[in-house]
Structure 1
Amino acid sequence: MLHLHLTAIIVAVILFIAVYGMYKKNNTRDNKAAFITHMVLRVFYLIVLFSGLMVYVGNMEGISNSGGHMTYGIKVLLGILTIGFMEMAIVRLKKNSAKATVLMVICLAVIIATVIMGATLPLGMLSF
């Protein structure tokens, strides 16, 4: 399940960049390619949330033995914030709001924080 989660995260980030670029280039109501890609991105949001929940539930015993409930809770919160900021940045850009750039910067900062925290947790690749 961890491989599904990581793959879904990578695909979601790539789709996010693609959708953001599509709306940045052509922000009209008839931009069907951006609309369809945005819907696919929303499906990947759900896959990321579901697979992350399954990874957490599947490793509950190891998490409780290591005493890492708080760090995994923070990681879950950062993951939800990441998805929220990704969606808000795209919707603000779609509505031609001035806050789209600020939300994009916040989104990138939260994505970086989430990836770093996920990599340093016991299931991550940088665990010591």
Structure 2
Amino acid sequence: MDALASTTHFHVFTWVVGIILFLVAAVMANGTKGKKITHMIARLFYVLILISGALLFFKYSSANAALYGVKFLLGFLTIGLMEMVLVRGEKGKKTGTLWILFFIFLLATIFIGFYLPIGISWFANL
């Protein structure tokens, strides 16, 4: 497991694939078999995102524990919103507010993730 926590490559791969699967499942027609399968695969990637994020958190949180904790919490909330959008959409309920919150939390999570010192440091000079 140390190989997965030594770089951010696996974590970035899992959240990119997870977001793509989420968006594909969100635009598919309700009640179709393909949507259920895509949703289940997205759930698998949610778990992989959380595991790889937790490994990175435990390895690197000593550098800036508060910021890593905030990023972990935002990531957890982002995944929760992704799941709520899909489940409420399947039930035919309104999801507009959840979509807005999802994009806000997603952008905040990505910004903090790129701000942190490991991985791609696009915002390290801010």
Alignment TM-score > 0.5, same fold = yes
2:102 pairs, out of 95, 99, 107, with: 107
Structure with the greater alpha carbon radius of gyration:
1
Match for 1:73: what amino acid? G
CA deviation after TM superposition for structure 1 residue 108, in Å? 1.0
What RMSD over aligned residues (CA atoms) do the two structures have, in Å?
Answer: 1.2
Match status 1:81 vs 2:54: no
Q: Tell me which residue corresponds to 2:52.
A: 51
The residue type paired with residue 21 of structure 2 is L
Q: Deviations over 1:80-120 (max 9, x none)?
A: 0000000001111111102x121111111110110011000
Percentage of identical aligned residues: 36
Question: Can you list the C-alpha shifts for 1:1-39, whole angstroms capped at 9, x where unaligned?
Answer: 2211000010001011100011xxx223xx000000000
TM-score in terms of structure 1 length: 0.86
Q: What stretches of structure 1 move > 6 A for 4+ residues in a row? A: none
Deviations along 1:52-104, whole A, 9 cap, x unmatched?
11112233xxx42x4x1100000000000000000001111111102x12111
User: Structure 2-normalised TM-score?
Assistant: 0.88
Matched, 1:121 2:124: no
Aligned length: 117
Higher share in helix: 1
Q: Which runs of 5+ in 1 are unaligned?
A: none
3-state SS of 2:30 partner: coil
